[in-house]
Amino acid sequence: MNRLENKVAVITGASSGIGNSIARLFAAEGAKVVMFARREKELNDTAAEITANGGVAVACPGDVSVQADVERALNTAIEKFGKVDIVVNDAGMVRYNGGVAVVTDDECMELYAVNTMGALRFCREAMKYMLPAGKGNFVFIGSVGGLLGHGGTAYAMTKGGMVSLARQIAVDYHREGIRSNVICPDGVMTMFGCVDGKWDMDPHTIKATTDHVCPDTPLCTPEEVANLALFLASDESEAVNGQAIVIDPGANL
């Protein structure tokens, strides 16, 4: 317990799935949490639960593709808690899972604006506070798709960009006390990618991906991903920087 005591964490995509599990775990481990996502009710409900359990959480609704919303999230952390130690870039979307033969420019750019540029915006804004403090920690929730090409062309491109961004931050700023690592899950037991109750997955991409995955391998839970995020966000991992870490139960061995 208290592995994040006295830390302030800003977590995007915190209304559901992996981001929501991370927010709950970080608060339970002593962090003051600023929860950012588009769905205000879900954020407020989770913040209320965290508070009722003795934690500290603030809901901050917004869109990672809107610069003013990003600025407001970091300003909230500074105004409420005086600093920002950790940023977890979890917000993302998966759509348009077809291969390069069918994907369009607009489809790629829609995902790029959220998955890659959304993370960049939060990192850039957080640097205004982390660099003067001489310390800071970025944890990205990427995807095995960004390393191995799973999930369709647009998704793999944008998650691959996230991996490169995380590593570039570590290269550029490790001497200034900044750490930056990316978690790359394979399948996770969430509703991510489900649109109107249906899975928006291209059959060709599904087959190509499953042909490369060990059969009958279970999916990760959001809590398992959150546990790894906790380690990377804590001082226990201070020697880990610029890494892309795959988390799966052996699906991609």
- Annotated catalytic sites, by residue? 155
Q: If you ran DSSP here, which 8-state letter would residue 178 be given?
A: E
d(CA 231, CA 220): 17
How far apart, in whole angstroms, are the C-alpha atoms of residue 61 and residue 73? 8
Q: How far apart are CA 83 and CA 75, in angstroms?
A: 9
Contacts for 100-107: CB closer than 8 Å, 24+ residues apart: 100/153, 102/202, 103/152, 103/153, 103/154, 107/154
Contact 142, 99 (CB under 8 A): no
Whole-number Å distance between alpha carbons of 76 and 167: 27
Quote the CA–CA distance of 81 and 57 in Å, as a whole number. Answer: 11
